[in-house]
Structure 1
Amino acid sequence: MKRIAALLPAVLVSGCLVGPNYVRPPPATLPTQAYKEAEPVTGAAAVFQPAQPRDGVDRGPWWQSYGDPVLDSLAAQIDVSNQNLKVFEAGYRRARALIRQDQSALFPTISGTGAAQQAGTGGLRGTTGTTTTITRGDSSQGQYTTGATLAWEIDIWGRLRRQIEGDSAAAQASDADLANARLSAQTDLATSYFGLRISDDRKRLYEETVAAYARSMQIVQNQVDAGIVSRVDLAQAQAQYEQTRAQLVGEAINRALFEHAIALLVGKAPAEIGIEPSRTQLTVPTVEAGVPSTLLERRPDIAGAERRMASANAQIGVAIGAFYPQISLGASIGFLAGGLGSLLQIGNAVWSVGPQLAGTLLDGGALSAQVEGARANYDATVATYRLTILTAFQQVEDALAQQRILVQQEKVQRAAVAASREAERLSLNQYRVGTVPYTTVVQTQATALAAEQTLLTIRLNRLIASANLVKALGGGWQQADLPAVTPIGGLKRANPAPPALPTPPPQPAPSPAVPTVSATR
């Protein structure tokens, strides 16, 4: 037994880890040096570098680039009150607790028992007339027991350590999910706020248009009173006036829905949120995407998918470990006595100690099927990882194309608005002198209103496209602590190289680290 105890430390230190060691598979396609829809990148920033996931970093207050204090105050409430974020945060804490539970299996388990029992005969009751007779037994005996047991599974094959490795990677994936949920909530809040402010602008446009149509209707009324035109013109003017008023009333629905969505995102009931109408003063930032390879460093969903690959790889080792016998060390000691005072005397002790071996001899192929299933699950996570990367590049390219093209479209649309307003002014002047029918005025006014509505829609699309690009790039990246795997599989807050590989080599600082944002109106 002494020899076994002396060999145990050496066995644990040199014990193998069954199953494959994790090596991150490459993406389906390697990133290029520049995005297709972006301006060419030159200089040092164009040099390709291997990407490392940075899933725990702070995403930064990127919404401040829009220059709106109300948006800043609302976005600050997401970390405090957003209930969906609390769900992911609780999931991360649960994953951390599971690691500690796994780690406990590496150490001995000691349990204790104790009991007291009194046994005897007697207690017979008899009744004769009005007299009750109780006969007590002459035999009564007490019995007291106590003891302790020790059980310790020796993780020679590394099955328990593979489980810890897998759950540690899963916890890192939960941390990435939390970061992704935070970024999504921030983006949803920004887009809802953009919609609300554009709704304010659209309402203001309707109010101004209704006032203009009222003046036009008065002009037609004067013409009718003077007998110059028929009442058909007046009916047309009234119809256009009332239709625009209906649009003005209906716009309140859009604003209310945006405000309610904002309330949900900041974790409040709609009755608790009231945002005063205001003219849009939002600055539309132009976001520089940087080098495509850095996308793998900034996207939390990519980091989460990569960590799930590592977890699935470790589960292969757990499944393979079931083929090997479990070796454990057990020990127990118990005391049995008729009296409590003599219970712990050495003469009343019963003890046992020794190793145990347990393994599956015949299972009909169940263990092989588990290994096959674990490998298939790993292959699925690899495909998911590669699909996540391809989807990320698509989202960035989409947002870049929208950002670039919408700037051009807004420029053209502003020219269209100016032309339509000039046509509206000229047609109304010509109607006053009787050179054109009122249908011409109606058409030019409708065209001018539609042009203004389109301009507001383009403005909203530009704001949303910029927020989507920030989200597609993973937010404003900055150096921060990352959750890293400790030697026994736990998590600690540190700032080493990212945990993409079991023992990653030192990596140079990524460049550029943060998407460049420039403000445009």
Structure 2
Amino acid sequence: MRPAFRPCVLSAVLALAACSQAPVYQKPAIELPAAWQSAAPFQTAAPNDHALKGDWWEVFNDAQLNQLMARALAGNQNLAVAAARLEQARAQVTVSSSGLFPQVGLQAGAARQKTSANRPLSSTTTVNQSLVQNNFQLGFAVNYEADLFGRVRSTVQSAQASAQQAVADYQNVSLVLTAELAADYFNLRELDAEIDVLNQGLALQQKAYDFIQARHELGAATGLDLAQQQSLLDASRTQLELLNTQRAQYEHAIATLTGTPAPSFKLAPANAPLTPPALPVGMPSDLLQRRPDIAAAERAVAAANANIGVARAAYFPSLILQANGGWDSNQMSRLIEAPSLLWSLGASLTQTLFDAGKTDATVAVAQAAYTGAVASYRQSVLTAMQEVEDSVESLNTLQRAHASAEASVNSSRRVLELANDRYSGGVETYFDVITAQQTLLNNQRLATQLRGKQMLSSVYLIKALGGGWHNDQQ
């Protein structure tokens, strides 16, 4: 080869070695609106300054909830499964990366063998003889696939993207777990408050029943008045039993989420006031950085893009470089000697000429998977924006509804006082008192339920915003 021609050949080889069949990856474009439809008070601050981070549930200032969250993060089995999958994905990166380096093996052997005297002759001038001899071997082998067309590199890129996807999946499982636990907890606390309201109503109804019974014994009240009050008492007691059943179910759900057997878990009733926190909403584009499910979907797109490169590399030849060496002797004492030395160097080039369309189909499969991953990513973004919009609108509506419900409770309480006074004075029948009692109880329960819904909507908004997820590509 002429000296002037050698640099050209070397340059061509280097350019070929740098060739990758994977398309240059670009994050799929998403058209995002500039702002949400719903206005303040929930869009309160710049998200970069007030973004929810870490233990987002602490914004509710509930020590019992904080303890339950710690137990869930330590003992929930679904989270343990996600952690195991994350470790598996990280180990797979190491498996894939090993293809970038030579594979080195060591081999040693010892045998005693007898050859056949009747074996085919290797020469017509010699006669075969039966021999019994030893064979001692010590050697090594080096194999390396020259990644000329990027198959191994694309495989590594796919594994790395999958590992990053597993990180986001783990964060998403954690977010779903903590949001579900917070929702169950606030449902239970709302029921505690509703049960307390119903118990207060029952006490009021029992007092009214005793009053009617005394008047009935004196002949100042009819049997109908007494029967009506008894019916109201029985109906309220039935509702109380149903609420206690619902509370037990939420208690059992919390036990499972925290990794505790339901029969051995108990959460004492509490009637602390429920106060939804003020939450920063930010802009729609922030969801691309904060939502773990969106991050997982985007990493799936990157992995699918790299898999196209793996599939396309099958169109081109594969080059395997091999080196073998060692010692071979019929005597152990003479094994490590110069005459026992043996070695070989070689290379093999393999090119598929006909595979009945297998490679074309494999590339088509990879491209279709990429197209589907892009669509899934975009759908994740659309779903995220819907969830945030729904939660913000729900909080706005519930805030107005709760204010109206509180006003209705105050009005109903005044109506009951007037009805009792008028009945005691003989102006009204007891049916008006019954109606006022039931209206007050219904309005109190409605206000309590609306407050519980506000707490749930706050949890769902935090979940829709991405909770405490960090974009730290572990």
Bucket of the pairwise TM-score, normalised by the shorter protein: 0.7 to 0.9
Establish whether residue 169 from structure 1 lines up as the match of residue 161 from structure 2. yes
Distance in 2 separating the partners of 1:59 and 1:312: 30
Establish whether residue 39 from structure 1 lines up as the match of residue 52 from structure 2. no
The residue number in structure 1 matching 2:472 is 482
Q: Of 96, 99, 105, which aligns to 2:99?
A: 105
SS, match of residue 356 in structure 1: strand
Q: Percent identity?
A: 34
Distance in 2 separating the partners of 1:482 and 1:90: 19
Q: Of 89, 94, 99, which aligns to 2:88?
A: 94
- The code of the aligned residue for 2:37 comes to K
The residue number in structure 2 matching 1:264 is 256
Deviations 1:272-314 (A, max 9, x none): 4332222123321121212222221111111111111111111
The structural deviation recorded for 1:216 is 0.9
Checking the alignment, whether the CA contact within 8 Å between 2:145 and 2:318 is kept in structure 1 is: yes
Distance in 1 separating the partners of 2:28 and 2:353: 35
Distance in 2 separating the partners of 1:242 and 1:43: 47
Checking the alignment, whether the CA contact within 8 Å between 1:82 and 1:267 is kept in structure 2 is: yes
Query: Compared with structure 1, are the counterparts of its residues 139 and 329 closer, same or farther at alpha carbon in structure 2 (3 Å cutoff)?
Result: closer
Distance in 1 separating the partners of 2:285 and 2:242: 46
Deviations 1:49-80 (A, max 9, x none): 9xxxxxxx994222122121111222233332
- The code of the aligned residue for 2:70 comes to A
Q: Which runs of 5+ in 1 are unaligned?
A: 50-56, 122-137, 484-492, 494-521
Query: Compared with structure 1, are the counterparts of its residues 140 and 156 closer, same or farther at alpha carbon in structure 2 (3 Å cutoff)?
Result: closer
TM value normalised by structure 2: 0.88
Deviations 1:201-259 (A, max 9, x none): 11211211111111111121122112233323222211211221222233222222222
Q: Of 318, 329, 343, which aligns to 2:321?
A: 329
Deviations 1:354-401 (A, max 9, x none): 111012110111100111111111111111111111111111110110
Distance in 2 separating the partners of 1:269 and 1:167: 37
**Which shows bigger deviation, 63-72 or 75-84?**
75-84
**Which shows bigger deviation, 192-201 or 415-424?**
415-424
Checking the alignment, whether the CA contact within 8 Å between 1:67 and 1:283 is kept in structure 2 is: no
The structural deviation recorded for 1:16 is 1.1
Query: Compared with structure 1, are the counterparts of its residues 9 and 161 closer, same or farther at alpha carbon in structure 2 (3 Å cutoff)?
Result: farther
The residue number in structure 2 matching 1:455 is 447
Distance in 1 separating the partners of 2:426 and 2:396: 46
SS, match of residue 364 in structure 1: coil
SS, match of residue 278 in structure 2: strand
The residue number in structure 1 matching 2:32 is 30
SS, match of residue 355 in structure 1: strand
- The code of the aligned residue for 1:24 comes to K
Checking the alignment, whether the CA contact within 8 Å between 1:67 and 1:282 is kept in structure 2 is: no
TM value normalised by structure 1: 0.80
Query: Compared with structure 1, are the counterparts of its residues 43 and 300 closer, same or farther at alpha carbon in structure 2 (3 Å cutoff)?
Result: closer
Establish whether residue 151 from structure 1 lines up as the match of residue 143 from structure 2. yes
The residue number in structure 2 matching 1:210 is 202
- The code of the aligned residue for 2:38 comes to E
SS, match of residue 285 in structure 1: coil
The residue number in structure 1 matching 2:380 is 388
The structural deviation recorded for 1:139 is 8.2
Q: How does 1:343-362 map to 2 (within 5 A)?
A: 343-362=335-354
- The code of the aligned residue for 2:87 comes to R
Deviations 1:76-107 (A, max 9, x none): 33332222112111111111111111110111
- The code of the aligned residue for 2:227 comes to A
SS, match of residue 351 in structure 1: strand
Checking the alignment, whether the CA contact within 8 Å between 2:290 and 2:471 is kept in structure 1 is: no
Aligned residues: 452
The structural deviation recorded for 1:442 is 2.3
The residue number in structure 1 matching 2:122 is none
SS, match of residue 277 in structure 2: strand
Deviations 1:459-517 (A, max 9, x none): 0110011111111111256xx6722xxxxxxxxx5xxxxxxxxxxxxxxxxxxxxxxxx
Which structure has greater strand proportion? 1
Checking the alignment, whether the CA contact within 8 Å between 2:192 and 2:270 is kept in structure 1 is: yes
Q: Of 287, 292, 308, which aligns to 1:316?
A: 308
Q: How does 1:198-347 map to 2 (within 5 A)?
A: 198-347=190-339
Q: Of 17, 20, 23, which aligns to 2:23?
A: 20
Checking the alignment, whether the CA contact within 8 Å between 2:44 and 2:281 is kept in structure 1 is: no
**Which shows bigger deviation, 11-20 or 260-269?**
11-20
Establish whether residue 77 from structure 1 lines up as the match of residue 71 from structure 2. yes
The structural deviation recorded for 1:42 is 11
Distance in 2 separating the partners of 1:369 and 1:382: 20
SS, match of residue 110 in structure 2: strand
SS, match of residue 35 in structure 1: coil
Query: Compared with structure 1, are the counterparts of its residues 266 and 289 closer, same or farther at alpha carbon in structure 2 (3 Å cutoff)?
Result: same
The residue number in structure 1 matching 2:402 is 410
Q: Output the aligned Cα RMSD.
A: 2.9
The structural deviation recorded for 1:431 is 2.7
Query: Compared with structure 1, are the counterparts of its residues 147 and 9 closer, same or farther at alpha carbon in structure 2 (3 Å cutoff)?
Result: farther
Checking the alignment, whether the CA contact within 8 Å between 2:42 and 2:281 is kept in structure 1 is: no
Deviations 1:13-40 (A, max 9, x none): 951111311011211x2232x2101339
Query: Compared with structure 1, are the counterparts of its residues 428 and 63 closer, same or farther at alpha carbon in structure 2 (3 Å cutoff)?
Result: same
SS, match of residue 463 in structure 2: helix
Checking the alignment, whether the CA contact within 8 Å between 2:16 and 2:149 is kept in structure 1 is: no
Checking the alignment, whether the CA contact within 8 Å between 2:308 and 2:363 is kept in structure 1 is: yes
SS, match of residue 21 in structure 2: coil
The residue number in structure 1 matching 2:127 is none
Q: Which runs of 5+ in 2 are unaligned?
A: 1-5, 116-129
Checking the alignment, whether the CA contact within 8 Å between 2:325 and 2:341 is kept in structure 1 is: yes
